Amino acid sequence: MRCLKVFGERIASRDPDRQTAEIHIRVTLINRFNALGAAEIERVA
């Protein structure tokens, strides 16, 4: 949960449905950043 705070110190919305949507957006962003930074491994031999 520590990584979620990178995109804001706390959840801004009070409505539970909007909180869920906000968390989904944060998780999607974190996954995309991880995919961009992941190395592609290819077998050479």
Contact 30, 3 (CB under 8 A): yes
Whether residue 40 has pLDDT greater than 70? yes
CA R_g for the chain:
15
Enter the pTM of the model.
0.60
Using CA atoms in the order 30, 6, 17, 25, what is the torsion angle rounded to 10 degrees? -30
> How many distinct structural domains can be found in the chain?
1
Give the pLDDT score at 39.
Answer: 77
pLDDT tens, residue by residue, 1-36? 555 555 666 777 788 888 888 888 888 888 888 888
Please give the residue range of the domain that contains residue 13. Answer: 1-41
pLDDT value of position 6? 59
pLDDT of residue 5: 57
